[in-house]
């Protein structure tokens, strides 16, 4: 009789470990499917009362991924991602914005990071139930944050292929604040290169190009003093952003799943600029003047995270702060 509670506790512990391991296995399948499968489909993106529909063509050739996305609502937009760059075509304006792909973070349906082990310190990962999405049987994986500095996620993967079919971002109250969902999906053995080109934008040669420039920055001159546990500097560079004047220093911090971009630029000429907070779905943007510079912090993280990081931006003492034109 004395051994039964101990046996029960042991079984619960073992089953919990097995469940977590299986959940991580599903995340590995999602990550592998996103970089190895060819597919086409339509997905919807919802944040608040706003709903947008996108068509995607995802091609893998020689280990390289190229994607073509087209907005199906409002003005036509065509986005081509791959080859280390992102090109956004706006046919109604005959303008194309071209920038090198510098973000280390991933986008739907390739949201799952390659390295999963560090996530266990900051998220509890478990299996959810079975359901059906876009005609495919799906398994849910639940990712819960261990603190108030990051959001939770619910991910649903196709049972047969492991491809991510649906993703929800969950706030601290348990409410869905952002969601991606495939409504139609076809996995294909082969997709031609022409299918991921600028189709439907007219004559590309007639487009005006606006390019975001990047500049070498071997060592950052600014840092974020108060970072939530697990957020590490993943990238730093100087860049000129299309549609913006001047050069800014761009720091990217990530815990492997969530990511935050920090931009340090020229102080505005207007005096008395107040801190501003913006929100779009799960994305929060906090802007303020810190140490005589305009600091903008944005990421799919709670308000607490962007405010804390923005207000703790400081120049590094090792070298003078970079001169910004």
Mind listing the pLDDT tens digit for each residue in 119-135? 889 999 999 999 999 99
CATH label of the domain that carries residue 87: 2.50.20.10
Q: Same domain for 231 and 253?
A: yes
Q: Same domain for 227 and 192?
A: no
Q: Same domain for 253 and 282?
A: yes
Q: Same domain for 252 and 309?
A: yes
**Distance of CA 147 to CAs 40, 82, 197, 228, Å?**
37, 34, 42, 9
Backbone angles phi, psi at 229, to 5 degrees: -55, 135
Half-sphere exposure of 16 (CA within 13 A, CB side): 7
Q: Same domain for 36 and 175?
A: yes
3-class state of residue 280 by DSSP:
strand
Q: Same domain for 311 and 185?
A: no
Of 144, 179, 206, which marks where a domain is finished?
206
Quote the pLDDT of residue 305: 95
Quote the pLDDT of residue 227: 93
β pairing state of 95-100 and 208-215: parallel
Q: Same domain for 169 and 142?
A: yes
Quote the pLDDT of residue 11: 37
Report the domain count for the chain.
Answer: 2
Query: What long-range pairs does 44-51 form, CB within 8 A, spacing at least 24?
Result: 44/180, 44/181, 44/183, 45/108, 45/178, 45/179, 45/180, 46/178, 46/179, 46/180, 46/181, 46/281, 47/177, 47/178, 47/179, 47/280, 47/281, 47/282, 48/177, 48/281, 50/281
Residues 311 and 269: beta-carbon distance below 8 Å: no
Reference 37, options 206, 162, 179; nearest CA is: 162
Where are the extended beta strands (E) located within 225-275?
232-240, 248-254, 259-265
Q: Same domain for 180 and 246?
A: no
Per-residue pLDDT of the chain (325 residues; tens, 9 = 90+): 334 444 433 333 333 334 444 888 999 999 999 989 999 999 999 987 788 999 999 999 988 899 999 999 988 899 998 877 888 999 888 888 887 765 555 677 777 777 777 788 999 999 999 999 999 999 999 999 999 999 999 999 999 999 999 999 999 899 999 999 999 999 999 999 999 988 888 888 888 887 766 666 667 788 999 999 999 998 888 877 654 557 888 899 999 889 899 988 876 655 556 788 888 878 899 988 887 788 999 999 999 999 999 999 998 876 555 555 4
Quote the pLDDT of residue 175: 92
Of 180, 206, 232, which marks where a domain is finished?
206
DSSP class of residue 143 equals E
CATH label of the domain that carries residue 289: 3.30.200.100
Alpha-carbon gap, residue 291 to 289, rounded angstroms: 7
Of 152, 185, 206, which marks where a domain is finished?
206
Q: Same domain for 250 and 300?
A: yes
Quote the pLDDT of residue 40: 96
Q: Same domain for 91 and 180?
A: yes
Q: Assess if residue 66 is contained within a domain.
A: yes
Q: Is the dihedral of CA 123, 301, 251, 83 positive or negative?
A: positive
β pairing state of 222-224 and 248-254: unpaired
Q: Assess if residue 6 is contained within a domain.
A: no
Quote the pLDDT of residue 9: 38
Q: Assess if residue 85 is contained within a domain.
A: yes
Q: What range does the domain containing 61 cover? A: 18-206
């Amino acid at each position: 009789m004395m051994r039964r509670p101990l046996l029960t506790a042991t079984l619960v512990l073992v089953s919990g470990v097995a469940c977590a391991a299986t959940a991580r296995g599903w995340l590995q399948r999602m990550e592998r499917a996103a970089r190895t499968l060819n597919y086409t489909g339509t997905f919807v993106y919802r944040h608040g009362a706003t709903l947008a529909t996108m068509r995607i063509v995802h091609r893998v050739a020689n280990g390289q991924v190229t994607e073509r996305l087209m907005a199906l609502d409002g003005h036509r937009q065509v986005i081509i991602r791959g080859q280390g760059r992102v090109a956004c075509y706006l046919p109604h304006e005959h303008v194309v914005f071209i920038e090198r792909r510098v973000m280390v973070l991933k986008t739907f349906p390739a949201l799952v990071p390659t390295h999963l082990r560090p996530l266990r310190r900051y998220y509890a990962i478990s299996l959810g139930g079975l359901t059906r999405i876009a005609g495919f049987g799906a398994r849910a994986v639940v990712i819960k944050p261990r603190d108030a500095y990051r959001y939770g996620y619910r991910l649903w993967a196709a049972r047969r292929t492991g491809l991510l079919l649906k993703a929800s971002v969950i706030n601290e109250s348990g409410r869905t604040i952002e969601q991606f969902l495939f409504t139609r999906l076809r996995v294909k053995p082969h997709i031609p290169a022409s299918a991921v080109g600028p189709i439907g934008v007219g004559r590309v040669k007639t487009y005006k190009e606006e390019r975001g420039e990047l500049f070498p920055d071997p060592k950052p001159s600014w840092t974020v003093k108060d970072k939530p546990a697990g957020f590490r500097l993943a990238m730093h560079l100087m860049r000129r952003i299309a549609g913006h004047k001047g050069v800014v220093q761009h720091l990217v911090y990530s815990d492997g799943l969530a990511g935050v971009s920090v931009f340090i630029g020229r102080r505005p000429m207007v005096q008395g600029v107040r801190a501003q907070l913006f929100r779009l779905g799960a994305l929060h943007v906090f802007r303020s003047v810190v140490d005589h510079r305009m600091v903008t912090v944005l990421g799919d993280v709670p308000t607490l995270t962007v405010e804390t990081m923005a207000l703790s931006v400081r120049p590094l003492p090792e070298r003078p702060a970079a001169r910004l034109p």
